[in-house]
Chain A
Amino acid sequence: MISHLLSTKNLELNEALEIFDNARKFLEVLDRPTKKVPILKGKLILTVFFEPSTRTRTSFEIAGKTLGADVVNLSVSQSSTKKGETIKDTCLTLNAMKPDCIVIRHSVSKIPDYITNFTSAKIVNAGDGSNEHPSQALLDAFTLIQHFGDLSGKKILILGDVLNSRVARSNVWLLKKFGAKVSLCGPSTLVREEFEKEWDVDVYWDLDEAINDADAIIVLRIQLERAASAWIPSTREYSIFYGLNSKRLVNNNKVLIMHPGPMNRGLEISSEVADSDNALIRKQVTNGLAIRMSIFYHLLGHKVDNIGEHLDKNTEQRGY
């Protein structure tokens, strides 16, 4: 059993499958009128975000609270850490507050691994630099499996700023474990030719060619505030050649569309595509809650009881 969720690279396939199994059960809980399964009552979860985030942090918070845990959110401004406290001291301080789990986001790759040295809490990586965002990849794979049942041989296209994307990396490592045929598409500055060999994926610089026979497309956000802007001449040019719109999908109108959000409508994805029936973007968000509940359950739950018993017990208590 994993002791932290740091990356999908080191996640075993059966661990991912177990997370999915329980996520399916938690999905039902989210549809109940009273959304509470106090499996993690008395557990303290800290979300520590060194980078601004709304949706990921909120998703983790709701997931934790639905399971009955106490969730406390800390926003640590990175400029204040630069002025004095090191990340090591921040973690030692937080650890002294006896959290059971720390959900961390940081702008530097591998910081979540580093802080495991300074806390006895379980660490969940909610995004580290351009390295990984494992819970996002898990929810993406979960969503794809909901639709395809089996991912083996499915061509999953990741479109956009792969170079700077933690979502892309976590998805590449995870989807390959499920036997998916992972393809990347974007301009050669953002989708480097070395990725093909080093990551064992297919690299396309031509979008039409890439879309052809794709089963699903994960559209990445062009992060205007980040490095991407230095690697493309303009967002206009990017949008013309790599923006996903309905014209591009004429020859492949069955392909599923996903996006981790938040979207730049009209830049990497047109509204028409984002709002189409093939788009799973809202479903990803709901699945994200279930996946994050499942992650917390795996890391913090009492292993003696199985989750089914918990769910049944709660159903009885509430008289369903």
Chain B
Amino acid sequence: MDKILFKNILVYFSDLSSKRINFYLDSSGNVNFLDSFDISDYKEVLDGEDLVVMPLLTDVHTHMRVPGQEEKEDITSGSKAAARGGIGQIFTMPNTKPVVDNAYLVDYLVSNIDKNSSMKIYPVGAVSKNQAGEELSPLLEMKRSGAIAFSDDGRPITTNILRKALIYAKTFDGVIIDHPEDPVLSDGGLIHEGRLSRAYGIKSIPYTSEEVCVARDVALARETRSRLHLAHLSTRHSLKYIEIAKEEDLNVTSEVTVNHLIFNCENISIFDTKFKVNPPFREEEDMYELFNALKKGIIDIICTDHAPHTLEEKELDYSQAPFGTPGLETVFAALYTNFVMSNKCALEDIIKWMVVNPSKVFSIPVLELQNNSKANFFIFKKNEEFLVKPEMFFSKCKLSPFLDKKLFGFPLATFYNGKMIYKDNNFLQTVKEI
């Protein structure tokens, strides 16, 4: 890479400070802060009037579909999608075929990631063997192989196994992630139970399906005093249990997907399979309350729950199409457009929810711009609008709920460990993506 000068660029840091600085990237991808400079020294100069440099985001909830469902996504396509979204670290869930429930599969995943990923991907191991909820998986052995946390994602951890896992995880200070849903109450439901499900007579998922599971989970976290993380909250009714848990200083954290902050069952086309997700999009009030919970610190993290499927699967009718929608590419642009630009939150808040808190909860490093270090950041341009098109997606799944919508703040380039892992076609003309 030729020397690139970043001139007078607004840089945000993980301590939530920001300042305009000059720096250049040298040929080996190192960042060098500058007090003064001579433009003629540089092959290309980026003038930073509207440009913003951000720390790399962390997405604690994705599905890379490896092993066994590579027709939906693989490590190469998934990590490219994440790079396009300004992300530098992702967690991949174990509900694959076969389920990642032993150290050999974690080893395989790690070697596949080492070979094919442009960024850091952390495997999450299954809590129970084959996610059947009957026997505990070898958590400690999986952790030694590189599992970051444990979850039976896609379904809730059975009560007995959750209690055992929480107690066992104390041995190694592990985090158990639960997908809070009572499958008996969900009972094959397709959409949120409410006005629309009643009007159309559609099998539905009541909010209590999540709430009763959150209540159970908090009770077990209280008993065991172990570390519990609740995945993809969807209803305002879950929040009071987490609020109480935080007041009691329990080790309970939680996340919400970016989509559940933007969509609800009234502002989408409910029969469009792009919007078929689990948990389902609920009511407008839930959407607002989930965002308020982030601001109050009741919810800690925003994730994508990037859940890609093939076109063939998502083109089935809405009752047969699988749950899940992609989200890696659009997460930052969607948050920036919907919340930062409308002054509902600041860029610093996004950094808190997608950089600082993930790093705290899961004890992983923060990746950001640092002098004399390998470049770790993404850069975007304020006020630059993009029409979301399938061609923008590196994910194998291009059926985004944001298709044909206009979003601001798409990353123009992403650098991970000194390498440029994503570059917009019209950005940085002299350099080539690595």
Contacts and interface: CB of A to CB of B under 8 A. Distances in A.
Interface of A: 86-88, 108-111, 113-114, 129-131, 163-166, 169, 192, 194-195, 198-199
B271 interface: yes
A182 to B, nearest CB: 14
Q: Chain B: interface residue count, which band? A: 10 to 19
B310 to A, nearest CB: 13
Contacts of B200: 109-110, 129-131, 169
A155 B316 CA distance: 42
Given A88-B315, A110-B271, 4 more contacts: A109-B200, A114-B318, A163-B201, A195-B198
B316 A109 contact: no
Contacts, number: 49
Given A86-B315, A88-B317, A114-B318, A131 B201 contact: yes
A86 B316 CA distance: 7
B29 to A, nearest CB: 48
A250 to B, nearest CB: 34
Output the residue of A108, A164, A169 with the most chain B CB within 10 A. Answer: A108
Nearest to B315: A88
B202 interface: yes
B319 interface: yes
A192 B198 CA distance: 9
B20 interface: no
Contacts of B319: 108, 111
A87 B318 CA distance: 11
Contacts of A164: 201
Contact of B317 (A108, A165, A166, A169): A108
A70 to B, nearest CB: 28
B317 A86 contact: yes
Given A86-B317, A88-B315, A88-B317, A114 B271 contact: yes
B201 A114 contact: no
Nearest to B194: A194
Contacts of A110: 200, 202, 271, 318
Nearest to B313: A86
B318 A130 contact: no
12 contacts: A86-B316, A88-B315, A88-B317, A109-B201, A110-B202, A110-B271, A113-B271, A114-B271, A114-B318, A169-B199, A195-B198, A198-B198
A318 B315 CA distance: 52
B382 interface: no
Contacts of A192: 198
Nearest to B312: A86
A92 B271 CA distance: 20
A279 B317 CA distance: 40
B201 A111 contact: no
Contacts of B317: 86-88, 108, 111, 114
A184 to B, nearest CB: 12
